Amino acid sequence: IYDYNKFETVLNNAEAQPIEKYKRLVESGSVKIEASNFFYQVNNTFGYQDYFGIIPVVKSNNLLGTLIIELRSKPYNYNNRLPDLLAEQKYSKDEEFKGYSIALYNNDKLLNQSGPYTYPLNGSFFKGKLNDFVNINDDVLRYSHLIFKPSANKMVIISKEKVGWVERLAALSFFFLVFIIFCIILYGLVWLIKNLDDDRVGWFSINRSLMINANKILYKTRIQVSIILTVVATLIVVGWTTYLYMNNEYRGQQDVLIKDKIRKVQQNFEKQVFSNGKISTDENAIADFNNFADVNNADLTLYDTKGDVVMTTYPKLYNFKIIGRKMGTKAYLNLKGLQRSEFINQDEKIGNLT
Count of other CB atoms within 10 angstroms of residue 183: 12
Q: Are strands 2-5 and 62-72 parallel, antiparallel or unpaired?
A: antiparallel
- Which of 164, 166, 161, 163 is CA-nearest to residue 117? 161
State whether 179 and 128 are in the same domain.
Answer: no
State whether 109 and 169 are in the same domain.
Answer: no
Residue 224 lies in a domain: yes
State whether 66 and 7 are in the same domain.
Answer: yes
- Which of 246, 245, 253, 281 is CA-nearest to residue 344? 253
Give how many domains the chain has, as a whole number. 4
What are the per-10-residue average pLDDT scores of the chain (354 residues)? 84 78 84 84 68 88 88 55 46 62 88 83 86 86 87 88 69 68 76 59 50 51 72 76 78 80 78 68 81 82 88 85 84 84 75 57
pLDDT at residue 82 in the model? 42
State whether 154 and 186 are in the same domain.
Answer: no
Give 162's DSSP letter. Answer: P
- Which of 337, 342, 340, 312 is CA-nearest to residue 324? 312
pLDDT at residue 76 in the model? 44
Residue 261 lies in a domain: no
Q: Domain boundary residue among 226, 247, 268?
A: 247
Q: Domain boundary residue among 247, 270, 297?
A: 247
pLDDT at residue 195 in the model? 62
Q: Domain boundary residue among 232, 247, 262?
A: 247
320/315 Cα distance (integer angstroms): 9
Count of other CB atoms within 10 angstroms of residue 69: 13
State whether 153 and 174 are in the same domain.
Answer: no
What residues make up the domain containing 17?
2-80
Q: What is the pTM of this model?
A: 0.45
pLDDT at residue 164 in the model? 67
Decide if 183 contacts 230 (C-beta within 8 A).
no
